A and B are shown apart, each in its own frame.
Chain A
Amino acid sequence: MFRKRIVAAAVAAAVGMPLGVHAASDAELAQIRDELKRMKDAYETRIQALEKRLQAAEASAQKAEATAAKAETAARAPAPQSGEAAFNPGVSLILSGTYARLAEDPANFQITGFVPTGGEVGPGRRGASLGESELAIAANIDPRFRGYFTAALTPENEVEVEEAWFQTLTLGSGLTLKAGRFFSGIGYLNEQHAHAWDFVDQPLPYKAFLGRQLGDDGVQLKWVAPTDLFVEVGAEAGRGRAFPGSDREKNGFGLAAAFARLGGDAGASHAWRAGLSYVRTSPNDRRYDDVDSAGTEVANRFDGRSRLWIADFVWKWAPEGNATERNLKLHGEYFRRRESGTLTFDVDGASAFGTQVDRLSSAQSGWYLQGAYQFAPRWRVGLRHDRLDFGTVDIGHVANGTGGLTAADFPVLASHSPSRNTLMFDFSGTEFSRLRLQLGADKSRLGVTDRQVYLQYVMSLGAHGAHKF
């Protein structure tokens, strides 16, 4: 714009001058000169003004650059906090609680047909109750190791160390070693903490075969293959302190586990992962309580081998991979367990039958399929079906009539295939807060349907957690 005017003036001057020489009168000449002078003056003023603006702009740009440079140095070398606080690890706390309305008394809960695990698998308490508060602390230890600790503070005012482990960061070649107490890498849900679940509780196979989830003291070695397809294999050796194993004083390892996984994307909108896992333990003096046919409470023990296979898959969908508005998560797992060994009926000799020893072998299975669909930002709906198959349970005492025992003396192992249907709605204002309504019809007990209503909150405070797939 401005440049065009200068050109116009120059042209006018060049053309106008000779015109004046040839044909103009003196008066006209003076007028043209005046006009030119006015134009010249006007442009000079404007050019000066522009020059001033340019100088100012340059100065401010320099200033901005200086500030930027300063900030850059600051950004590169952030002023460290002084003292020991500078190395404080990341701390996060999960608060959770439920209000439950249960048709059946939670005190008589059992998963009929399946050996009780001793884990926290019940439907929880009626009415309002605090859930587990989970305190997690994590930080890099040095360039080689990272440490992680979670304690669950139970509503009964007990502290339980859920996980406490270190892992390597720089082993390289796709290898990672973890040691301490940790949730086993088997299956899909096993590694997830309760606050990350899509439902208030775990699916039936996890309750029946792992006593909620498998956590052990030991070591884990994982390897990610250098391939475009995600391939991961891992092996674990542990104490076998909890179901399906049993804690004892023994050199060596009581639990061995292995898993292999494949995963990848299918276009921008789909991602999947599938895996196969195996757990082997040798329970020794693993006890559970039962009631014999005369109504006497007895304690039974199992000694032998327990082998569990798990096949799992998870599939996630989000339009163009953008999960903000809508997304779907679907996963399912199939469990199959074989146990064989000896069952000691009435260890303490409390019943009229006295202590009786015979074989026990079983092959039982279970599966679940669940989906959670976010249909609008912040809102999700979920549906779950889980089911256990009684399979075959061969109790030697019953088959041989040892000590006069019959199937009626083993009511916990009565033939029953539990199942459950669950519907869930939840609202997450942000990724740090979640409110949930869950409705369920639970047929874990023989011949009884427990109608359950839960209201739950899960709140995360502190360090931003990063969740696994």
Chain B
Amino acid sequence: MGKIFAMVLAALLASASAPAAAALNVLACEPEWGALAGELGGDRVKVSTATTALQDPHRIEARPSLIARARNADLVVCTGAELEVGWLPVLLRESGNANVQPGRPGNFEAAGFVALLEKPARVDRAAGDVHPGGNPHIQTDPRNIARVAEALSRRLAEIDPEGAAHYRARHQAFAKRWSEAIARWEQQAAPLRGLRVVMHHKLPYLVGWLGMTEAATLEPKPGLEPTTSHLASVLDELKRQPAKMVIRAAYNPPRAAQWLAERAGIREVVIPFTVGGNEQAQDLVALFDDTVKRLLAGLH
């Protein structure tokens, strides 16, 4: 018995002693932060992403493959605000990696650098899956991404001081490109201002950025699956005060939105929600290009 373990250990140690790649290992909890780390780090970082745009970031399991990646990470970039509360703590503890534990420089929480909306006045699960810190879907407003980019660039420089100039330069270039892009999106999206929309899951950052108004949500309470009785009440509400479209993220199941769109005679708009949410949204700029385009298409 002991012999077998000793042999396995020896084999593993041998494979591990191969020289590690010089690049900084970044594990991003969500694709948007993976893409951002790639933009800011360039070839000094090796980014891997724990979830895809087709997965609900609230409901991920601490899979063995993720533990292995957390074990080897120099930096973990996550949303925070309890979005990953069901899996990230286990992942970090099981990894045995001291550098990425909460409070260490290798643990970066994006939500700490933006103003969170919908902070509940009362924290009670009777109100659904509420996040005490506020709504965590901050990446749906590009201005938040700009704020996180600045903080993340500083964090990269802290962990990898040799690359400080590299990260600063890349951030400057990104920030310039990004603010120009924001101006473009805001101009393009001007017709969306004041529009009443139905959301599958609450996305106050997107709705607020584009000046839209949330008429209703398909989820009866945050994080609860739509029920037929709730959808019927939304439909009644729309009869009194119509909305222009129903918006869902790529990972939300389609049935509820389609049901409502059909009966209320409005458009269903599927936004990519994050990088990789559809074929077009393959990087951060394309994500918002495509989001704005799809929302505008919903007008007609």
Residues in chain A within 8 A of chain B (CB atoms): 67-68, 70-72, 75-76, 140, 143, 146, 167, 169-176, 222-233, 235, 258, 260-265, 268, 271-273, 278, 316, 320-325, 377-378, 429-432, 464-469
Contact = CB atoms under 8 A, between A and B. Distances in A.
A313 B195 CA distance: 52
How large, as a class, is the contact surface on chain B?
Answer: 35 or more
B8 A469 contact: no
Interface in B1-37: 1, 5, 8-9, 12, 15-16
Nearest to B221: A430
Given A75-B112, A172-B97, A320-B54, 15 more contacts: A71-B115, A72-B115, A75-B111, A146-B93, A171-B98, A225-B71, A227-B12, A227-B15, A228-B72, A231-B12, A232-B64, A233-B8, A271-B63, A278-B1, A430-B223
Contact of A260 (B8, B54, B55, B88): B8
B65 A264 contact: yes
Q: Is the interface of B mostly helix, strand, loop or mixed?
A: loop
A231 B5 CA distance: 12
B14 to A, nearest CB: 11
Nearest to A231: B12
A72 B148 CA distance: 11
A72 B71 CA distance: 31
Given A261-B64, A466-B87, A430 B96 contact: no
B90 A468 contact: yes
A71 B112 CA distance: 10
B251 interface: yes
Contact of A271 (B65, B86, B88): B65
10 contacts: A71-B116, A140-B102, A169-B93, A225-B16, A225-B71, A261-B64, A324-B56, A378-B225, A466-B90, A469-B62
Contacts of A260: 5, 8
Nearest to A222: B96
Contacts of B99: 172
A355 to B, nearest CB: 35
B134 to A, nearest CB: 8
B94 interface: yes
B61 interface: yes
A263 B63 contact: yes
A265 B52 CA distance: 14
A224 B52 contact: no
A323 B59 contact: yes
B299 interface: no
A226 B225 CA distance: 39
Interface centre among B60, B94, B147 (most CB of A within 10 A): B94
A72 B54 contact: no
Interface in B120-165: 125, 128-129, 133, 147
Given A230-B65, A466-B90, A322 B56 contact: yes
B79 interface: no
Contact of B97 (A67, A76, A174, A227): A174
B55 A321 contact: yes
Nearest to B20: A226
Shortest beta-carbon contacts, A-B, top 6: A263-B64, A71-B115, A230-B64, A172-B98, A170-B98, A174-B96
